Each structure stands twice: as structure tokens, then as C-alpha cells.
Structure 1
Amino acid sequence: MQLHHCSDKIEPTQASQFITRTLQAHFPGPIHRFNDFPMEVQEHLYQMFMRQHRFTSRTDEARSRFVWTMTARSNFKHLMYNGRKNAEKHSQSADPTLWRERVPSWMRGEYWETLCNIWAAERWQQTSTIMKVNRTVNPEANMHTGGSVSFATHQSRLEKELKRQPTFFEVFDRTHKKKGTDVYISDRARVVAVSEIGIPEIEEEIARSDSEQE
């Protein structure tokens, strides 16, 4: 199949769907970030793709690995997102420990169970961190811009606004920056954002690239 890329997105759609199918068929274990795929697995999947497809121009060909990686990362992110949302819908709970019975058809049950445990631990860690933040910020920061609305509610609202699951950092920013600005409500909030959460510069670049594809 001949194909080309539009920005960092592979077209036609069938080519992107081929990438998704190979990700499902060769899913190597309880991994929820594409960057954690072993390099040998990534190379194998890329070579499978290139055996079935070729780009229409030399410029596209030169960028083929980068474009494939960006597409695979985005597609895998959506696979994980859809799996979580389906499990949450059927269990009627945001608790990942209750999702274990809703195994995606393409994934081994033990992999899914491990992922649910990972997500549950992350959810606990996020809740713990936000509580620590609200305890340690100085008085003017203690009443964050979210008011009395719960963190989970802010997370749900931001998910609807972004049409994707927001990162913990994005929710923290939404509730600890002055409305309509990029300024934290206090120096302590800014320090906590860096020291407790970390500023994910690389992840932001990836997220931007993914959002451009969508």
C-alpha cells in the first residue's frame, strides 16, 4: 500500500489501523506507555509495517520511522484509554481494582490485571500527592482555584473539555494557576509543581504532537 504523512500522521486510515492491529497482536506485556515497549519489539513492528507499505515521496520515506513511532504512540494511547473507559463504564466505578473482569479482547487476562494494579497504585499516589500539596502550600495557596470542588470532579470536567484523559499535572495546573494565566497562585504551588510532580517537558511535546494528529 502506498501512503503519505500529513504533519506527523500516517494516511490513509487503513495504514494506521494496520499499526493498531500489530500493536494488539504483539503486545509484549503489562505496559501502558508505548515508550516502554522493548526496542526490539518496536523494531519488529516497524519492519512489519514497512514490508506492507511504502511512502510516496523520498521526504516521507526519510521521516518514516519518526512518523510511524508517533502514530504507534498515539494509537496505543487510544487503545489504553478505550480499555479503561470501557471497564469504568461497565463497573460503574473509577476504581481500577474493579476493572479486572473487563479484559480487552486482544489482551491476556494477567496483563490486564497487572495494569489495573498499576493504575490503582498511580491513582492512590495522585490522591496522596494532591493531599500533600494542599497541606504544604502556604495559606494563600491552600485554597486552590478549584474552590471546594473535589480533585476527581475537576479531573472529570477537564477530561470532557480535552476529550481525552488529562494528566495529573494538567489537573494540578488547572487548580493551582490563576484563571486565564500561566501563573501559579503562589511561589509554593510552583515549587511543589516542580519538586513533587515534576515538569514533564518531553511528555508535553508528545501530547502536543498527538493532539495535532487528532
Structure 2
Amino acid sequence: MQYYGLAGLVLVVVALILLTVLRAGWRLSWLLPWLKGNLLLLAVFFAAGLTISAWELQQFKVLETGANVATLEFRKLGPQQYEVIYTAGAEPQSIPLKGDLWQLDAQVLRWQGIGLAVGLRDGYRLHRLTGRYLTLEQQRGLLSDEQRGVLHQTPAWRDAWRWLDRLEGGAILEADAFLLRFMPIAEGARFGIEIGETGLTPVPMNRQAMNAMQRSE
């Protein structure tokens, strides 16, 4: 009987709420303007989202197999400290790097469904250049900086690729990633970076780079 009584009390409260609503606005003259205002607000948010997506898309490039997408040149500043001269078609960029190894990752957009059917081609954006230490203690300290070595100007909170990845893809577009890992650092080494359908490939461009890669094998 207790729960029947509680259920009856809840129904009384519901009846009082409905009675109040009907007495205050039963003609519903407010409903249409309210719906219209909310739809307009949603349209503004949707347009803002599309604007951000457009800005993100123009930063991606068509994924062409065998294309050289960047060069990296390492200059030693001190023990386990380097300056990397990063060039990717624009003005060279100087990036500080700490560690014994380097790695590079790229954000990739994979078209599927109707996007693939109309001939849209996969795209990429070089995302981050990071250093790694050989010792675990040093590496733990390095991982505390999440924004290290980012190669584009998009903050994480409005990174469309990141949001697409969290949604685990869609019917038209899917987020993928390439990761070039654990490459040796050497003073004066110069590497070219080639891209293909399955990942990034380092290409030694001088003797220092070739020697570094041979030592790592």
C-alpha cells in the first residue's frame, strides 16, 4: 500500500502542475514564437559548426602516395636538447625538441560512402612532432606537456578531427591517423618525410641521417 500511496501523491503533483500550466497559458500563444526562437538559435549554432569545419578542412591536403610532405633537420643545443628546422612547403619553423628519439604523427580523413562514390580523396594534416627519452623516468616528465610540438594552429577543443575521432567516424567521413615512431636523433641529420596510403616513411637526406638509421637497426 505504501507505494500505491506514493504513486497517488506523485499523480496529484502532476495534476497540479498541469492545472497551473493550463490556467497560465492554455491558449499556447507563446509556443510558436518559442519554437521559432529555438530553431533560429540551433541554426546559428549549426552555421558556426560548419564555419569551424570549413576552416579545419582547408588545412588538410590530398593524400598522394609517394609525396614528400616535410623535411626535418636536427641541430643540437645541449644534452638531449635539439632544435628542429621543420619545413612543409611554407616558411621553415623552429621547434624545440627534448629526448633521444623523435616521432611524427598525422591526422588523416578517410572518405567513405557517398563521399567515396563521388570521387573525394583522402586527406591528411601533419599533427605533432614529439621527442622521446629512452629512460622511463625522463619520459614521464615529457608526457605532462600535451601541447608539445603541435604543427598546426587549431586548439584541441575545436579540432574537428579530434571530435570526429571521438564519434568513431560517420557514414561519410572517418578519422584515421599515421604515426612514425621511435626514430633516432642525430646532430645535423636531415630527413624527408614521405606519405603513402598506409603511413609516413622517413627518407635520410644526408650521411648523418643514414648513420642514425643504421645504428637503430
The answer, yes or no, to whether TM exceeds 0.5 is no
Bigger CA radius of gyration: 2
With the shorter chain as reference, the TM-score category is under 0.3
Higher relative contact order (CA 8 A, sep 6+): 2
Superposition TM-score, scaled by structure 1 size: 0.27
